[in-house]
Chains A and B, each alone.
Chain A
Amino acid sequence: MSPTTKVAQSAAGPASAGTSTTPTTGDTDAVTEAAAAVAAGSAAAVTEGSLGGSAGASGGGSGAANRGPATDYAEYRVVPARHPWRWVGTAVVALGVAGIAWSLATNPRWEWGVVAQWFTAKSIVDGLLETLKLTAISGILGFILGFILALMRLSASPLLVSVSWTFSWIFRSTPLLVQMLLWYNLGYLYEKISLGIPFTDVRFFEIQTTTLISQFAAAVLGLTLNQAAYSAEIIRGGILSVDQGQLEAASALGIPAWRRSTRIVLPQAMRAILPTAFNEIIGLVKGTSIVYVLAYSELFYTIQVIYNRTQQVLPLLLVATLWYVVITSVLSVFQYYIERYYSKGAVRTLPLTPLQKACRFLSIHALSADNSAKVTR
């Protein structure tokens, strides 16, 4: 009896595959290997390779033809592999999370009542609006200035390059707190600020420094300049990440310089800029709390004023924290969708948004629920 027919027999039914194969001829290895593979369910892999090797090409054909219908496992029930340790791990983590949640909810010293009472109090909401205003203004101005600094740094003029470099160097190496106090006390260094032509007596405009630099102006100035120094580097990095060939192709097509930057380079640079830029903006939201040193009534300063009066320090800090969490969450959602927008063309197919995933999940499960209902009937 040739090994070929043996394999063909053994493959006649999966139930017999494990038992009936007792190789008697020389090609023992090939036969057992083939039988094992059939038993494991990968019949297709066996047909050509093993048979061709053991019995020659002529036998291979008939062997494959004989076992056709028997290897159809379409009707079989599939039992997924079990992962007991995954369940253990999940249970441990779930227990930990539940414990933390429980203590947050039941420990009376968190004083959730106080948190709820102050969370939407008018003074807090006013402070929150000030925080948002500071973030928006210094964020936008900072990134515009940063963009200009980045272009200066990439220009061909050595003077522009070194001015831009020095700006970033100074503002990244001094503490923000010092910058704030310096701007606020600018009146001590320069009593009057005037606009004119240097080294002449021509003055267009002159003003007392203390009138010009209010708390708000000092806060915006400090945050903006500091932000500009960091965002300049982020934007420069983004621009450098765009392939030089893109600029070449655009200039070869006669596309004007401004359009090359805004239409060709920036949209591609955005992919590299956005993640770090959002880091910066989220940092800035919380960074605005530093202007409490100027006694400027943004969220954090307001909180401090209140807890100094009521002595409910932790609950009020919790109020501030919760608001920062809310702002960061909203920004993160924006980040997700903006990044998605700029990733068009960079990936072959855009992944589904969480919302789309949820819709699909629901529709699939609604359908399968429908189907199972039909089956049971």
Chain B
Amino acid sequence: MSIIATDIPAATGGAGVPAAGPTRGLVEITKVRKSFGAVEVLKGITLTVEPGGVAVIVGPSGSGKSTLLRTINHLEKVDGGFIAIDGTLVGYEVRGSTLHELREKDVLKQRTEIGMVFQNFNLFPHLTALENVTEAPVVAPRSGKPRLSKAQARERGLELLDRVGLKDRAGAYPRQLSGGQQQRVAIARALALEPKILLFDEPTSALDPELVNEVLDVIRGLAKSGTTLIIVTHEMGFARDVADTVVFMDQGQIVEQGSPQDIFSNPREERTRSFFSKVIEPAFNI
């Protein structure tokens, strides 16, 4: 394993947390920039999410929320700035004063510590719910943890499906499940690797309204579990319930961030205020 945790504080400038400590799931995003062609979608984002914290990112479409989320597990490479998990850079290794891009195998190892749940589930349609959950723990290379045997993975998989209320559908294929059930399987699949951090990319946007809550309830349960959650969503009521920190993004920048109380009830910026006036029903906006 080539990632050297102790080298990083100097590189990140330190966010006030000792890197060698037993922290789990500290996310530090520093001046991250990303362009697609001529369009700059992230214009220097800096954000810290404490271990076990729940950060909810809101903002209009095209503001770069999803892209930011995808840079955290290196699905998108950043063009500038860097991201560190518990003091370890994502996607790069520090050697002296140079950054070396990690080989695919090491990137995969890092990703096993960062679960991701997608807007359109991305379940593997040719595998059953249980097979979807057990696939990664058996084959993914993990740092410090052995791969699971098939029997162990199966046991863990059934436990996780039970936790999301789908133990009796373990043998069903994704197309035989409702959208809400599919998303719950996807959450169980992300949990199977026991990640420190879970990323949710608009987890309820593809669901019928009556299915949204069954998914949100599962996420609410996770918020209390001590796993760091970073959630992109349009469900403002849910954001207010579950978030420690609400981050409002617009046009590739963080406009403001703070407690749900601050952001929803007393936004300082005009842009935040005008966005919420469009998305929140009047009864809620008191």
Is A78 in contact with chain B by the CB < 8 A criterion?
no
Check B140 against A254 for contact (C-beta < 8 Å).
Answer: yes
For A346, list chain B residues within 8 Å (CB).
125-126, 175
* B238 interface residue (CB < 8 Å to A): no
| Chain B residues whose C-beta falls within 8 Å of the C-beta of A254 in the assembled complex | 108-109, 111-112, 136, 140-142, 193
Checking A255, A263, A345 against B125 with a beta-carbon cut-off of 8 angstroms, the contacting residue is A345
Taking a contact as CB atoms under 8 Å apart, the answer to whether A245 and B120 are in contact is yes
B113 to A, closest residue via Cβ: A254
Bound CA–CA A323/B226 (angstroms): 69
- Interface size class of chain B, counting residues whose CB lies under 8 Å from the partner chain: 20 to 34
* Chain B residues with CB under 8 A of A256: 105, 108, 139-141
In B106-124, the 8 Å CB interface with A consists of 108-109, 111-112, 114-116, 118, 120, 122-124
Q: Does A264 contact B (CB under 8 A)?
A: yes
A348's partner among B118, B142, B176 (CB-CB below 8 A) is: B176
Partner of A253, one of B120, B140, B176: B140
Residues of B within 8 A of A263 (CB): 135, 139
B124 contacts A264, CB within 8 Å?
Answer: yes
- Partner pick for B139 among A249, A255, A267, A342, CB 8 A cutoff: A255
**Contact of B127 with A by CB under 8 A:** yes
A251 touches B111 (CB 8 A): yes
Known: A345-B127, A346-B126, A348-B176. A249 touches B118 (CB 8 A): yes
Could you say which of A243, A250, A264, A342 has the most chain B C-beta atoms within 10 Å of its C-beta? A250
Q: Are the C-beta atoms of A253 and B135 separated by less than 8 Å?
A: yes
Check A358 for interface membership: any CB of B closer than 8 A. Answer: no
A342 → chain B closest CB, angstroms: 8
| CB 8 Å contact bits of A32-61 with B (1 = contact, 0 = none) | 000000000000000000000000000000
Chain A residues whose C-beta falls within 8 Å of the C-beta of B189 in the assembled complex: 253
Identify which of B120, B139, B175 contacts A259 (C-beta below 8 A): B139
Q: How far is the CB of B160 from chain A (nearest CB, A)?
A: 14
Interface residues of B in 158-210 (CB under 8 A from A): 173-176, 189-190, 193
User: With a CB–CB cut-off of 8 A, which chain A residues contact B123?
Assistant: 249
Q: Which residues of A contact B125 (CB under 8 A)?
A: 268, 345-346
Cα distance A267–B125 when bound, in Å?
10
Question: Closest Cβ of chain A: how far from B188's Cβ, in Å?
Answer: 12
The answer to whether B136 and A255 have CB atoms under 8 Å apart is yes
Interface membership of chain A positions 314-353, coded 1 if the CB is closer than 8 angstroms to chain B and 0 otherwise: 0000000000000000000000000000101111100000
Q: CB-CB < 8 A to B176: which residues of A?
A: 348
Does B75 belong to the interface (CB within 8 Å)? yes
B124-A249 in contact (CB<8A): yes
Tell which of B109, B122, B173, B193 touches A249, judged by Cβ atoms closer than 8 Å. Answer: B122
The reply to whether the CB of A276 lies closer than 8 angstroms to some CB of chain B is no
Given contacts A246-B122, A268-B125, contact A252 B140 (CB under 8 A): no
Chain B residue numbers with a CB within 8 Å of A245 are 118, 120, 122
A347 to B175, CA, bound (A): 7
Shortest Cβ gap from B203 to chain A (Å)? 13
A217 on interface, CB distance cutoff 8 Å: no
Across the interface, which residues of B come within 8 angstroms of A246, CB to CB?
A: 122, 124
Q: Is the CB of A253 within 8 A of B126?
A: no
Closest-by-CB residue of B relative to A349 is B176
Provide the bound-state CA to CA distance between A288 and B257, in Å.
70
0/1 interface trace, chain B 127-150, chain A, CB 8 Å (1 if under): 110000001100111100000000
Within residues 69 to 83 of chain B, which ones have a CB less than 8 A from any CB in chain A? 73, 75
Q: Is B104 an interface residue (CB 8 A)?
A: yes
Residues of A within 8 A of B142 (CB): 254
* Cβ contacts under 8 Å, B135 to chain A: 253, 255, 263
Q: Determine whether the beta carbon of B173 is less than 8 Å from that of A345.
A: yes
**CB of A27 closer than 8 Å to a CB of B:** no
A93 to B86 CA separation, bound complex (whole angstroms)? 77
A262 CB to nearest B CB, Å: 11
Residues of B contacting A347 in the complex (Cβ-Cβ under 8 angstroms): 175
Q: Please give, as numbers and ranges, the residues of chain B lying within 8 Å of A163 by CB-CB distance.
A: none
A339→B136 CA distance, assembly (Å): 26
A269 vs B128: C-alpha distance when bound (angstroms): 17
From residue 235 to 253 of chain A, which have CB atoms closer than 8 A to chain B?
Answer: 243, 245-246, 248-253
Please give, as numbers and ranges, the residues of chain B lying within 8 Å of A259 by CB-CB distance.
139
Q: Are A252 and B141 in contact (CB under 8 A)?
A: no
Distance to closest chain B CB from A259 (angstroms): 5
Minimum C-beta distance from A273 to chain B (A): 14
| Chain A residues with CB below 8 A from B141, complex form | 254, 256
Give the CA-CA distance A250 to B190 in the complex, in Å.
11
Contact B139 A248 (CB under 8 A): no
Looking at B112, B123, B139, which has the most chain A CB atoms within 10 Å of its CB?
B139
User: Is the C-beta of A257 less than 8 angstroms from some C-beta in chain B?
Assistant: yes
In the complex, which residues of chain B have a beta carbon less than 8 angstroms from the beta carbon of A252?
A: 73, 75, 111, 114-116
Checking B75, B114, B115, B173 against A248 with a beta-carbon cut-off of 8 angstroms, the contacting residue is B75
Cβ contacts under 8 Å, A267 to chain B: 126
User: Which residues on B sit within 8 Å (CB–CB) of A342?
Assistant: 126
Expressed in whole angstroms, the Cα–Cα distance for A342 and B125 within the complex equals 11
Contact A253:B75 (CB < 8 A) given known A248-B118, A344-B126, A348-B175: no
Please name 15 pairs of A and B residues whose Cβ atoms are closer than 8 Å in the assembled complex, sorted by A.
A248-B118, A249-B118, A250-B124, A251-B111, A253-B135, A253-B136, A253-B193, A254-B142, A254-B193, A255-B108, A255-B139, A268-B125, A345-B128, A345-B175, A346-B126
Residues on A lying within 8 angstroms of B by beta carbon are: 243, 245-246, 248-257, 259, 263-264, 267-268, 342, 344-348
Closest 5 CB pairs of A and B: A254-B140, A249-B122, A254-B112, A253-B136, A345-B173
Given contacts A252-B111, A254-B109, A267-B126, 14 further A-B contacts (CB under 8 A): A249-B116, A250-B124, A251-B108, A252-B73, A253-B136, A254-B111, A254-B140, A255-B140, A257-B104, A263-B135, A344-B173, A345-B125, A346-B126, A348-B175
